[in-house]
Chains A and B, each alone.
Chain A
Amino acid sequence: MTTLSNHVPDPRLITAYAEHRDSPVHRVNAWTKFGTVGALVLAVTVADSLPVLTGLYAATLVVYGVAGLPYRRLLYWYTLPLLFVVSVAVPLAVLEPGTPIGGALGTPLGALSVTWQGAILFAELSCRSLTVVTFALAATMTTRYADVAYLLGRVLPTPIDQVTLLTYRFTFVMVETLEALVRAVLARGATLSEFWANRRTYARILGMTLLTAIERSERLVKSMEARGYDGDITLYGDVPRPPIREIVVLVAVYAAVVGYALIAVYGVVSL
């Protein structure tokens, strides 16, 4: 039976964790979390050592736990990111030159074997990906809706910010619409277990979802214009500048990442 996937994080659950839970990570300033995502992206891009990458991943798992977020669901949510890593890293693990692990498998194309270098590459790619996935989820699940909206409104240029704010607002509505349509189809006896046999049912579900979206957008235009929309959706919230101790920590994190890259990775600076 096909329903909404549990491999993709439900934005309603994400927001519920952000709005109704409390933890030390919830109390960190939204700008600090945003800056930390950037530092982590830079760190996993430049780091070239498996122990360092494993350490970074372990640290983000600890942050996720401190935030009181569910590890079991995280395992489900890892499915797609890991699938992406596997889809490229598995062929690379076989093709990567190096010392074979165990014996080689004879094939018409030649001997195939997973090498130590290939296995390490797979582990590195997994750690890189999961580090940022884990922290991004931790950040979104501990930052209130109003704060996320404020950041999006401040960071993105017009009209991207306007589109993004409307998307954020209506994602919840569209997920509920889609869920209701699937539930209605299932209640009428559809199984949806096979795609090809049910292709027209799927088309109707998706078509109705888009039709609902378009009709909502038409109603929204009228309401926006009636309220005197002039290219700016007013945000009443505010995310203040991070406290000084968070700024110091963030600067130290960036300095550590840049320093590590310059000294240990690129060898630009020698100690």
Chain B
Amino acid sequence: MAHIHLGEGSFPLWAVALWTLVGVTLIGIVVYRLRRGGIKTHQIALAGIGAAASFAVFQLNLPVWGGIHMNLTGLVGILAGPALGALIALVVNVFSAALGHGAVGLLGANTLVNATEAIAAYYIFRTLLRMDWDVFPATASAATIGLSAGAVLMGAIIVVSGVNGSALPRADLTVAVAGLVGLNLGVAVVEGILTGFVVQFLASVRPDLLDLIDRERGEEDPAGVAA
């Protein structure tokens, strides 16, 4: 899960207002679409418990480069879909900010980044499955690309906003942020591979969660196709 790797107060006021507005607009669209379709109880339950699981997973310290934490945003997007994935991203960010991780003023920007990861991962995963990719490479690629998109967006948000109190020109700020984005791209690959293994495991025990039953039946029943 790529974050805006800046603490509270790092963006000027106009940027805080801008990203809050963009974040609210995105979530507004998601809520409108969900309400228009009639919100089902199972959607509420899945989003609520999915966000709780994502938040809980963040408590696990993975021994990579001295220890990293993940929220598996790509995985959440693949399992819950783009709309619920965006809602989960918002809720996880709200809880993270309340516990001092992330920033209250940057909720809009953080949600934008994480929702992008979830939405991109979902659509790429579905596209790759339609192209007949296996579950592991499809998931690992989708999650890695989705998280990378989030990391690049995060860097772009920092460069557009500028850092509060810094006199650094935008070009030099881009150089400073490039290292951070590069680090996040490395984490995206690790998280992407892990997501691939997790979904491979889930597909083996509950293929219905990923709408893979029809696909598997098709593969297992070549005689029917031949007939």
Q: If the complex has contacts A195-B62, A210-B79, A214-B46, are A132 and B104 also in contact, measured as CB distance less than 8 A?
A: yes
**Which of A124, A193, A195 contacts B190, CB < 8 Å?**
A195
Consensus secondary structure, chain B interface? helix
Determine if B52 and A213 form an interchain contact, defined as CB atoms under 8 angstroms apart.
yes
Q: Give how many B residues have a beta carbon under 8 Å from the other chain's beta carbons.
A: 86
Residue of B nearest to A127 (CB): B9
> Within the assembled complex, what's the spacing in Å between the Cα atoms of A102 and B140?
47
Query: Is A19 an interface position by the 8 A CB rule?
Result: no
**Which of A10, A92, A216 contacts B49, CB < 8 Å?**
A216
Residues A29-85 near B (CB distance < 8 A): 37-38, 41-42, 44-48, 77, 80-81, 84-85
Which residues does chain A contribute within 8 Å of B5, judged by CB atoms?
A: 84, 87-88
Query: Is B127 an interface position by the 8 A CB rule?
Result: no
Interface 1/0 per residue, B110-124 and A, CB below 8 Å: 000000000000000
Residue of B nearest to A96 (CB): B168
Which residues does chain B contribute within 8 Å of A182, judged by CB atoms?
A: 60
Q: If the complex has contacts A140-B98, A178-B60, are A44 and B8 also in contact, measured as CB distance less than 8 A?
A: yes
Consensus secondary structure, chain A interface? helix
Which residues does chain A contribute within 8 Å of B67, judged by CB atoms?
A: 5, 7
Residues B185-209 near A (CB distance < 8 A): 190, 193-194, 197-202, 205-206, 209
Which residues does chain B contribute within 8 Å of A216, judged by CB atoms?
A: 49
Determine if B166 and A92 form an interchain contact, defined as CB atoms under 8 angstroms apart.
yes
Which residues does chain A contribute within 8 Å of B75, judged by CB atoms?
A: 210
Query: Is A259 an interface position by the 8 A CB rule?
Result: no
> Within the assembled complex, what's the spacing in Å between the Cα atoms of A14 and B98?
11
Interface 1/0 per residue, B72-95 and A, CB below 8 Å: 100100010000000110111011
> Within the assembled complex, what's the spacing in Å between the Cα atoms of A61 and B79?
41
Instruction: Give min CB distance, B127 to chain A, whole Å.
Output: 22
Which of A20-28, A198-206, A236-244, A248-256 faces chain B? Answer: A198-206
Q: Which 7 A-B pairs have the closest CB atoms?
A: A129-B7, A166-B48, A128-B9, A203-B197, A44-B9, A174-B56, A213-B53
